[in-house]
A = this chain, B = another copy of it.
Amino acid sequence: MVRYKAIISYDGSGFVGFQRQNQGRTVQEEVEKTLTRLNSGQPVAVHGAGRTDSGVHAYGQVIHFDLPQERDVEKLRFGLDTQCPDDIDVVEVEQVSDDFHARYQKHHKTYEFLVDIGRPKNPMMRHYATHYPYPVSLSLMAEAVKALVGTHDFTGFTAAGTSVENKVRTISHASVVLDEQRQFLVFTFTGNGFLYKQVRNMVGTLLKIGNGRMPVKQIELILSSKNRQLAGPTAGPNGLYLKEIIYED
């Protein structure tokens, strides 16, 4: 068998998430169906680096899969891209060694979260950014976001009842900037792993701080107390993008 790594992008609004489930349309299943067709009907399993939730988008999701023969990677990319549904694009395909694993090989993920602060509301963006029509201070959020950088126990920013035991993760980059042209707040986080709903909880908390309803110091308090109750609400999935994954070699 030959292993392939692919970078795919998708519009999450038509999916119940990346990972195959009993009910609903998933990215994994759609790509598997397409690969199976390209593989003369023999089933192909797809492994993804991140399990994006329902409504969450990706520009740089990484998957791997095995095919019985060596293929021209550009032809394979083109075939997959054109045969996948039009809300999934295949950006790049490369052959990798048999021990590459999209999920378990060490990597850094970058997530972006778009908040539309423009008025009036833009119906074209309703699936692609979270609309926040309240006043926000960019400088308060830019100050607060710094406290997320580093190695911390992120229990206070994850959904209650997650099965993962070790909740220590390292964030190497965290920022928020204003895209003036589009009137978007752009939050960016890079790290060696993120807990379930961690990014959306961090953004929900940062917006509350920006809106003046929580102090800047709240981030440190949530980290040290590991108390989810102290964090802000979970921001919507529609603003979240899995932007890029960089593997260590």
Which A residues fall within an 8 A CB radius of B?
Answer: 9-11, 57, 59, 86-89, 91-92, 120-124, 126, 128, 181
Task: Determine which residue in A57, A120, A121, A124 has the highest number of CB atoms from chain B within 10 A of its CB, and name it.
Answer: A124
Q: List 22 A-B contacts (CB under 8 A).
A: A9-B120, A9-B121, A9-B122, A9-B123, A9-B124, A10-B123, A11-B123, A11-B124, A11-B126, A57-B124, A59-B122, A86-B123, A87-B123, A88-B123, A89-B120, A89-B121, A89-B122, A89-B123, A91-B120, A92-B120, A124-B128, A181-B181
Nearest B residue to A122 via CB reads B9
Cα of A193 to Cα of B11 in the assembled complex, Å: 35
Complex CA–CA separation, A86 to B123 (angstroms): 7
The CB with the most chain B CB atoms within 10 A, among A59, A88, A120, A122, is that of A120
Q: How many angstroms between the C-alpha atoms of A123 and B15 in the bound complex?
A: 13
Closest to A179 in B: B181
Q: Specify which chain B residues have a CB less than 8 angstroms from the CB of A124 in the assembled complex.
A: 9, 11, 57, 128
- Give the Cβ gap from A11 to chain B, nearest Cβ, in Å: 5
A18 to chain B, nearest CB (A): 14
CB closest chain-B residue, reference A77 = B120
Verify B87–A126 contact, CB threshold 8 A: yes
- CA–CA, A124 and B121, complex, Å: 18
